[in-house]
Amino acid sequence: MSTTDAPDHGMDPTPAADWLTAHRGEVEATLGGLLGAAEQLNAWGRHLAAVLGGGGRLLAAGNGGSAAEAQHLTAELVGRFVAERRPLSAIALHAETSSTTAIGNDYGAAEVFARQVQAHGRPGDVLLLLSTSGRSENVVRAAQAGRRAGLRVWALTGPGVSPLGEASDDVLRVGAPGASTSAVQEGHLVAVHALCAAVDAHLLGTTATAKIAETPAPATAVAAPAVTSEPLDLRTPADRRPRAAGARRPRPRVVVVGDAVLDRDLLGRSDRVAPDAPVPVVDLHGVDESPGGAGLTALLVAGLAQTTLVAPVADDDAGRRLRDALTGFAGADGGVEVLHLGHAGGTRTKTRVRVAGQSLVRLDEGGPGTPTDVDAAQLTAVLAQADVVLVSDYGAGTTRDPVVRAALTDVARRVPVVWDPHPRGGVPVPGCALVTPNLAEARAAASPAVAGASPDILAEHLASTWGVRGVVVTTGAQGAWLASPGTEAMFAPAAVVAGGDPCGAGDRFAASAAVSLASGRVPSEAVVAAVADASAWVAAGGASGWRAAQREAASLDDAAAAAGDGGIAAPRTAADVVARVRATGGTVVATGGCFDVLHAGHVATLEAARRLGDALVVLLNADSSVRRLKGPTRPVNDEVDRARVLAALDCVDAVVVFSEDDPRAALAELRPDVWAKGGDYGGAELPEAPLVRSWGGRVVLLPYLDGRSTTSILARGAVPAAAAD
């Protein structure tokens, strides 16, 4: 080749240089836009870290160059981005060549991603779809399939409004108006890396730094724009709060929106009927007052998460007591923050007359309680702080207010919303993560053709009808059924609970589910946890039992404070137990014995005795008493050890040690409602029975577990010892 044919690199710019020079401005504009979207990318990273860290999965897909970017993301997650961490579950759908070709052949190219989403996606998983135009039919259908299946769907598109963006839960539009396809794709790659940095930061608790820092800049390059020496801060406002070294990350924040009421329990005893009407006469001995409705829900959440309640609160004496009970709640640091909306009418108050743990009558007053003068900007600002929003609808009108509904509709696009509905309330807004009707509410909300169907069918029907990601129909003692649009339902069975009080169980269920989602659990995990928590709530006596436990905790705190700085409060006494149970109209059970070598027969008797009431006090023979009754070689274990072992049993609430030969003196002081004794007395009356009946108590005999006794156990142990001698 002659010298005249050789290219002259020093005279004319090359096409590559021309393109790079012209393209540089586009790239800089694209990166500037991504800096402005850093908070959105961080929110995505935070949510994705919670999903993947909790065993969830990311699905990603795109066409052409977007497919390469999607596969780049899944590779970084399954492998690593910068720091070492465990592999995370991420699947690039377009890389499944056998599936894509088979689906395309059988169902058409438009279904190649949607059908894989139906196969691999689970409620709570994340689906990320990349498309520079946002108009490819296969990614739009994948987004629609993802939302029907209960996945969180995100889109990375070009700068314009697109069908893919409209079909997704959230969209990040990359590039300035009129940006070229190449600039958008390059911006997508940078966004993918920023997302990986945010995921790693939230999983590992580190500050995100750019991966490009691993590679030194070229020695000869056009001068780059100045950058700060500080790394890009991708943390949420809550994460930016200063923490001491080694301190835990802040608790999640849950915003509860709904209708609060004031619950009042008038506690008393009744042993006669009125002479002027066939009604019981109740002698009151106490009043228990606490927040109810959405107020109770907020208190339940507050024990596990930072909590704000948004609710109408009346400007009257009852409203002020309601607000003070929330903000001063001792079960949470700082209580419950309250954004009080205007309230039509007086405070809604529900007053129950309760005797022996049962309600005789309920009196409702106040209301209607619909919100007034709702400040949209203030409401939006509060919702913007939430990791999860929990709607606790009690039918007073908060969920029908147009300003409230608009704010909830908007926030449901960004964070999980759990909606506990009410027949008189507004329908759940589209996009809710989880709606929690009970079976009666589900039947009332369903179309007539489906209203009589089984709970699993109802759950899927309502999820499709409401346009939400998941509906869980609770069925009381049976459990709960969770379904997403177009999916089979999952059944979460409840533990068997004998007796108990279901009042407030729906609030407990919704609160537990919301906190689980805020902590990063997927919906199925949240529902299983909520079923278990609701069952425990019923077994513990429902709302009344919870309030009694709060009073007891407060009294223990007072006792600890009374002990002085560094002092230790005295252990719970039988008198404390009796006072707590009697304050709620409950039943005190007592039993007694030596309990020298605790065995299965003892445990069976104690568990049976506990089922007779609301608390069990054990009257324990002292060492001197046991020696007189059993002989000089007994007891094997001293009274301190025996009392400690008994007190450790879940069925025992308190232990009293007495030194007499029989328990009559201890019984006279305790005065239980039921005296339970194990063993066969052959029809002979217990010596203490007349005393117990003198104050209206009952005597109940419980059978021994056959073949179990302390004497026989000690005899069996003595045989090998004698042989050894």
DSSP string, 169-216: SEEEE-S-TT--HHHHHHHHHHHHHHHHHHHHHHHHT-----GGGGSP
47-63 residue pLDDT tens: 898 888 777 899 999 99
pLDDT of 199 above 70? yes
Same domain, 160 and 308: no
For residue 682, the domain's CATH number is 3.40.50.620
Whether residue 515 is contained in a domain is answered as yes
| Predicted structure pTM score | 0.52
The answer to whether residues 90 and 195 touch, using CB atoms and an 8 Å cutoff, is no
Encode 356-386: b = buried (16+ Cβ within 10 Å), e = exposed. bbeeeeeeeebbebbbeebeeeebeebbeeb
Answer yes or no: are the C-beta atoms of 124 and 150 closer than 8 Å: yes
Kindly state whether residue 342 falls inside one of the protein's structural domains.
yes
CB-based burial of residue 265 (10 Å sphere; 0-12 exposed, 13-18 middle, 19+ buried)?
Answer: buried
Q: Give the pLDDT band (50/70/90) at residue 569.
A: very low
CB atoms within 10 A of CB 277: 8
In terms of pLDDT, which residue wins out, 633 or 198?
Answer: 198
Looking at the structure, tell me whether residues 515 and 584 fall in a common domain. Answer: no
Q: Which pLDDT does position 208 carry in this prediction?
A: 39
pLDDT value, residue 287: 86
Q: Nearest CA to 301 among 244, 342, 258? A: 258
Q: Decide if 507 is catalytic.
A: yes
**Residue 402 has which token pair?**
């147009």
Q: Which of 568, 530, 577 is nearest to 549 (CA)?
A: 577
Residue 2 pLDDT: 43
- In this structure, is residue 354 part of a structural domain? no
**Nearest 5°: phi and psi at 297?**
-55, -45
Please report whether residue 19 resides in a domain: no
CA distance 393 to 232: 41
- C-alpha 486: how far from chain center: 25
Q: Are 574 and 617 in contact (CB under 8 A)?
A: yes
Q: Is residue 589 located within the same domain as residue 486?
A: no
Q: Assess whether 51 and 122 both reside in one domain.
A: yes
Task: Tell me if 335 is assigned to some domain.
Answer: yes
- Would you say 513 and 529 are in contact if contact means Cβ atoms under 8 Å apart? yes
Q: Look at residue 504 and give its three-state secondary structure.
A: coil
Question: What is the C-alpha to C-alpha distance for residues 158 and 26, in angstroms, rounded to an integer?
Answer: 13
pLDDT at 330: 66
* pLDDT, tens only, 280-316: 999 998 888 899 999 999 999 998 899 999 999 999 9
Query: Domain limits at 578?
Result: 574-720
Catalytic site residue from 265, 507, 623, 653:
507
* Inside any domain, residue 199: yes
Least confident of 188-197, 408-417, 560-569: 560-569
234/198 Cα distance (integer angstroms): 7
Check which CATH number belongs to the domain holding 135 and give it.
3.40.50.10490
Residues with Cβ within 8 Å of 389's Cβ and at least 6 positions away in sequence, in order, are 254, 255, 256, 257, 383, 408, 411, 412, 415, 416, 417, 418
DSSP, res 438: B
- Which residue do the tokens 């001197």 mark? 624
**pLDDT 10s digits, 85-99:** 788 999 999 888 888
**Domain end call among 498, 531, 548:** 548
What is the distance in angstroms between the CA of the first residue and the CA of the last residue of the chain?
A: 113
The amino acid at 195: L
Q: Please name the residue that has the structure tokens 């930072």.
A: 306
> Do 535 and 581 sit in the same domain of this protein?
no
Model confidence at 566: pLDDT above 70: no
Which long-range contacts does 31-35 make (Cβ < 8 Å, 24+ apart)? 31/187, 31/190, 33/174, 33/175, 33/176, 33/187, 34/174, 34/187, 34/190, 34/191, 34/194, 35/232
614 and 499 together in one domain: no
**For the segment 342-387, what is each residue's pLDDT rounded down to a tens digit?**
999 999 999 999 888 788 999 999 989 999 999 999 999 999 999 9
621 with 505, same domain? no
Could you identify the residue written with the tokens 């809604």? Answer: 348
Residue 529 shares a structural domain with residue 588: no
pLDDT of residue 553: 64
How is 643-681 classified by DSSP, letter by letter?
HHHHHTSTT--EEEEE-SSSSHHHHHHH--SEEEEES--
Alpha-carbon dihedral 541, 547, 550, 555, rounded to 10 degrees? -110
Is the pLDDT reported for residue 707 higher than 50? Answer: no
Q: Kindly report the average pLDDT of the chain as a whole number.
A: 82
Supply the CATH number for residue 320's domain: 3.40.1190.20
Closest by CA to 370, choosing from 428, 320, 311, 418, is 311
| Angle between helix 402-411 and helix 376-383 axes, rounded to 10 deg | 30
Residues 451 and 343 in one domain: yes
Q: Please tell me whether residues 503 and 585 are part of one structural domain.
A: no
Res 719 pLDDT > 50: no
The percent of residues above 70 in pLDDT, for the chain, comes to: 84
Q: How far apart are CA 254 and CA 175, in angstroms?
A: 34
> Does 20 fall in a domain?
no
Of the three residues 180, 212, 244, the one that is the final residue of a domain is 212
Q: Specify the residue for token string 């994705």.
A: 48
Calculate mean pLDDT across residues 460-483.
93
Q: pLDDT per residue over 629-670, tens digit each?
A: 888 878 888 888 888 889 888 888 899 999 888 899 999 989
473 and 525 fall within a common domain: yes
- Give the residue-averaged pLDDT of 208-218: 36
Q: Which of 89-98, 234-243, 409-418 has the lowest mean pLDDT?
A: 234-243
* pLDDT higher than threshold 70 for residue 6: no
Same domain, 322 and 196: no
Burial class (CB within 10 angstroms; exposed 0-12, middle 13-18, buried 19+) of 549 = middle
Query: How many domains, in total, are found in the chain?
Result: 3
pLDDT at position 723: 33
Residue 583 counted as domain residue = yes
Given a cut of 60, whether residue 680 has pLDDT beyond it is no
